[in-house]
Amino acid sequence: MSLAKKLASQTAVYGVSSIVGRVLGYLLVPIYTGHFAPAEYGIVTGLYAYVSFLNVVFTYGLETTFFRFANRPGQSKRELYDRTQSLMLLSSAGLTLLLWLLARPLLGLLGLPPGHEQYAHWMALILGLDAVAAIPFARLRLNNRARQFAIIRLLNIVANVGLNLFFVVLCPAVLRADAGTLLAGLRPLIEHLYDPARGVGYVFLSNLFASALTLVLLLPQLLDFRFRWPDLSFLRPLLAYALPLLLMGLAGMVNETLDRIMLPAWLPEGFYPGLSRLGAVGVYGACYKLSIFMTLVIQAFRYAADPFFFAQSADKNSPATFALVLKWFTLCCTVIFVGISLNLSWIGPQFLRRPEYLTGLAVVPVLLLANLFLGVYYNLSFWFKLTDRTYFATYIGGAGAVLTIALNFLLIPVLGYMGSAWATLACYFMMAALCWWLGERHYPVPYPVRRLLSWLLAAIGLVWLGQAAIGRWPGAGGYALGLFLPLLFAGAIYALETRRGRLT
């Protein structure tokens, strides 16, 4: 099996948990949008935006650092695991306590009145539990135990989805059921377990229970661990490598989630008639979820790529392998961009049940393209990890963060959440371009840049023309065209790349 095929197979295994799990998770979107008003869903969107930032702080680059140090000659993987996990336990306990104490100020940033502090308390526990699980998960990936990794991840998501269905759908249905029906017979039990006043709080509680289950499933990895105090001789090189990755991660979260934090602050009141600022965040957050089809591929790829690229770094043919990986990753994501963008007319209503959510669908193609460039950036970024120049991550991420903040500040008052979408696209394109330009000078790889840009421009043109044609051809004809054009585009890629001998 070639190296590229090996990476593809690993990506497929990791993708089982990522794609199947996320599909299950995103089946919750129509449930949330059907049961919660935009302002209520805005609470979920806003809090999880903060969680994305804090998750980076809680793990502070230790996963990637663990992979890098584990592949160094003479490094004891046993000692590295013990000390790294010990460090993660200590830091997670301290950060969880700090976040618990800061619950009120955090909720104040979302404009929530006193009395909802338990939301932040539950999120603090979720962050702590997930951080403790990070290094055991990384160890599974390092040891190529992709199947076990995928099963645990999948069970986590299934538990989360199941609990959401129980609390958000079943419990209210039981309380509304007419006397004498089957559901009404469950009312005494449900009244004991369920408090209708808690509302969206059950979204966070479901996540908390699922995170606790994950630690139970990881017990073999956790029990195969001996606490070893992380002394200074261990901490210095580890943190020197990890801290730039932390800064990169924070900058990445600025680029990924700051729009949902800035929207309620910078959006003019009444910008969207009949919709509050928090409601606009809810609409944008729900539509943002539709870009998950791109994010799924990126996430599955990253799980497989971290150990793969480090393991292949010493191979003399690795630059050619890296170029091949980027090429087919980009082409696959380009097909996804075309397929989703041209089928929003029926995908959107399936996920976004209320009409007020559908008003934000125009942001989806922009966000899909933005996430495509984010995936390209992740591919390109391995040059500074392999050369131990992780400080470049800070420069690139910092530049992206500055651009994100500036464009959101300028565009939100004028374009609303569409301005946030364009800011995200500009940021990720700039980061990918800057990473490629720097990589050419420090770790040259023969990427087929011009050819990939040609395919991307063709995809953008096809989406633009296809959406115009579908809009003028409503009904079954438009649906058929939306399905046919992506298949035609994928066929053209396969035919042309195969004819030129570029399939492998």
pLDDT tens string 327-368:
988 998 999 999 999 998 888 887 777 778 888 899 999 999
Model confidence at 454, in pLDDT bands (50, 70, 90)? very high
Residue with tokens 């502070």: 60
17 occurs within a structural domain: yes
Mean pLDDT value across residues 122-146: 89
- Among residues 475, 466, 476, 389, which one has the least CA distance to residue 435? 389
CA pair distance 168, 35, nearest whole angstrom: 8
pLDDT of residue 219: 92
R_g of the chain computed on alpha carbons: 23
504 occurs within a structural domain: no
- Give me the number of domains the chain comprises: 1
pLDDT of residue 337: 94
Model confidence at 312, in pLDDT bands (50, 70, 90)? low
224 occurs within a structural domain: yes
CA pair distance 255, 370, nearest whole angstrom: 11
Domain that holds residue 271: 3-499
CA pair distance 348, 368, nearest whole angstrom: 14
Q: How far is CA 467 from CA 73, 340, 362, 365, 459, in A?
A: 54, 11, 11, 10, 12
CA pair distance 154, 159, nearest whole angstrom: 9
CA pair distance 142, 136, nearest whole angstrom: 10
pLDDT of residue 501: 52
**Token output for 284:** 């944008």
CA pair distance 36, 14, nearest whole angstrom: 32
CA 171 to chain centroid, in Å, comes to 29
CA 438 to chain centroid, in Å, comes to 25
The chain-wide mean pLDDT, for the chain, equals: 83
pLDDT of residue 436: 93
pLDDT of residue 503: 44
pLDDT of residue 389: 81
472 occurs within a structural domain: yes
The answer to whether the beta carbons of residues 52 and 257 sit under 8 Å apart is yes
Lowest mean pLDDT among 104-108, 138-142, 327-331: 104-108
pLDDT of residue 90: 93
Determine the 3-state secondary structure of 412 from DSSP.
Answer: helix
Model confidence at 58, in pLDDT bands (50, 70, 90)? very high
DSSP 288-348: HGGGHHHHHHHHHHHHHHHHHHHHHTT-TTHHHHHHHHHHHHHHHHHHHHHHHHTTHHHHH
pLDDT of residue 1: 44
- Among residues 161, 129, 158, 138, which one has the least CA distance to residue 14? 138
Mean pLDDT value across residues 392-419: 90
CA pair distance 54, 48, nearest whole angstrom: 10
The answer to whether the beta carbons of residues 151 and 17 sit under 8 Å apart is yes
Model confidence at 22, in pLDDT bands (50, 70, 90)? low
Determine the 3-state secondary structure of 390 from DSSP.
Answer: coil
495 occurs within a structural domain: yes
Mean pLDDT value across residues 78-97: 91
pLDDT of residue 504: 46
* DSSP 8-state secondary structure symbol assigned to residue 167: I
**Token output for 374:** 């984010």
The answer to whether the beta carbons of residues 150 and 13 sit under 8 Å apart is yes
190 occurs within a structural domain: yes
H or E segment to which residue 136 belongs: helix 117-142
The answer to whether the beta carbons of residues 329 and 380 sit under 8 Å apart is no
pTM above the 0.95 mark? no
* DSSP 8-state secondary structure symbol assigned to residue 272: S
pLDDT of residue 304: 66
CA pair distance 317, 151, nearest whole angstrom: 33
pLDDT of residue 96: 94
Residue with tokens 């490629």: 436
Lowest mean pLDDT among 108-112, 139-143, 429-433, 458-462: 108-112
DSSP 438-478: HHHHHS-----HHHHHHHHHHHHHHHHHHHHHHHHS-THHH
Residues 6+ apart with CB under 8 A from 53: 250, 253, 254, 257
CA pair distance 3, 442, nearest whole angstrom: 23
